[in-house]
């Protein structure tokens, strides 16, 4: 739970990678944001197919924000290297990927735990980056989104971004702040009810989630 945005895309041309990384480093130095740099040039400035195991690009981390990942595979696709490593270990038998589905309808109190992934390709997660900005605040969220708008227009193809605050689509700061307020109120309510609850089983926890959801819906239906 928390304000997040999600994006995917690919580098327009392999030769653009050095400039892309350098520009992000310069901006992050001005903003005092941390960076972590991977390979900054493709061999002969060309993409490589099929994908190899090399990581190209950069990650930057604003204060109180999750890392913003612009790491590319050898074909130029944005991806999340730590998720790739987990899935590779799963394919080789080193780890096991287990999915958990929580059905919060009236008929679904029990969580569904499965080692299968029917109808779901976990590899798709590798090529979509998820970033939570809630604790960084509205100002940092705006800075990051505006930076991604600029970078995507200059360097990226097939770029798609989903902003839960809808600031990316609308530029509406008030809408962003309202979304943050709703999330913070929900988390405060969740923490209060969690402190008062007795949870001895997954079923107890699911019931708590349903109770919080009903309370939140009631507040939405009856605003002061």
Q: Bridge-partner residues for 68, per DSSP? A: 60
What pLDDT shows up at residue 183? Answer: 56
**8 Å CB contact between 146 and 133:** no
Rounded to two decimals, the pTM is: 0.69
Taking only the tens place, the pLDDT of each residue in 87-117 is: 655 454 444 544 444 444 444 444 444 445 4
For tokens 């096991």, name the residue: 96
Which range among 28-32, 52-56, 99-103, 173-177 shows the weakest confidence by mean pLDDT?
A: 99-103
User: Does residue 111 lie in a domain region?
Assistant: yes
Range of the domain at 67: 4-195
Q: How many domains does the chain have?
A: 1
User: Does residue 151 lie in a domain region?
Assistant: yes
Taking only the tens place, the pLDDT of each residue in 150-173 is: 999 999 999 999 998 888 998 888
User: Does residue 212 lie in a domain region?
Assistant: no
User: Does residue 213 lie in a domain region?
Assistant: no
User: Does residue 186 lie in a domain region?
Assistant: yes
User: Across all residues in the chain, what is the average pLDDT?
Assistant: 78
User: Does residue 102 lie in a domain region?
Assistant: yes
What pLDDT shows up at residue 193? Answer: 60
3-state SS, the chain, equals CCCEEEEEEEECCHHHHHHHHHHHHHHHHHHCCEEEECECCCHHHCCCCCCCCCCEEEEEECCCCCCEEEEECCCCEEECHHHHHHHHHHHCCCCCCCEEECCCCCCCCCCEEECCCCCCCCHHHHCCEEEECHHHCHHHHHHHHHHHHHHHHHHEEEEEEEECCCHHHHCCHHHHHHHHHHHHHHHHHHHHHHHHCCCCCHHHHHHHHHHHHHHHHHHHHCCC
Neighbours of 119 (CB within 10 A): 5
User: Does residue 163 lie in a domain region?
Assistant: yes
What pLDDT shows up at residue 1? Answer: 45
């Amino acid at each position: 739970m928390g304000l997040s945005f999600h994006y995917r895309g690919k580098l327009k041309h392999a030769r653009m990678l050095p400039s892309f990384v350098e520009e992000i480093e310069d901006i992050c130095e001005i903003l005092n944001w941390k960076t972590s740099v991977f390979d900054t040039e493709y061999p002969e400035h060309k993409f490589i197919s099929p994908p190899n195991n090399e990581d190209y690009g950069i990650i930057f981390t604003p204060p109180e924000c999750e890392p913003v990942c612009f790491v590319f595979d050898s074909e130029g696709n944005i991806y999340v290297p730590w998720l790739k490593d987990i899935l590779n270990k799963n394919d080789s038998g080193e780890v096991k990927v287990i999915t958990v589905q929580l059905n919060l309808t009236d008929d679904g109190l029990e969580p569904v735990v499965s080692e299968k992934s029917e109808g779901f390709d976990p590899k798709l997660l590798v090529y979509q980056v998820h970033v939570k900005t809630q604790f960084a605040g509205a100002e940092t969220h705006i800075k990051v989104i505006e930076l991604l708008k600029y970078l995507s227009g200059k360097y990226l193809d097939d770029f798609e971004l989903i902003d839960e605050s809808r600031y990316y689509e609308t530029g509406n700061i008030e809408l962003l702040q309202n979304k943050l307020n709703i999330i913070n109120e929900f988390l405060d309510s969740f923490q209060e009810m969690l402190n008062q609850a007795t949870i001895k089983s997954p079923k107890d926890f699911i019931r708590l989630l349903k109770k919080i959801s009903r309370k939140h819906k009631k507040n939405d239906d009856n605003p002061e």
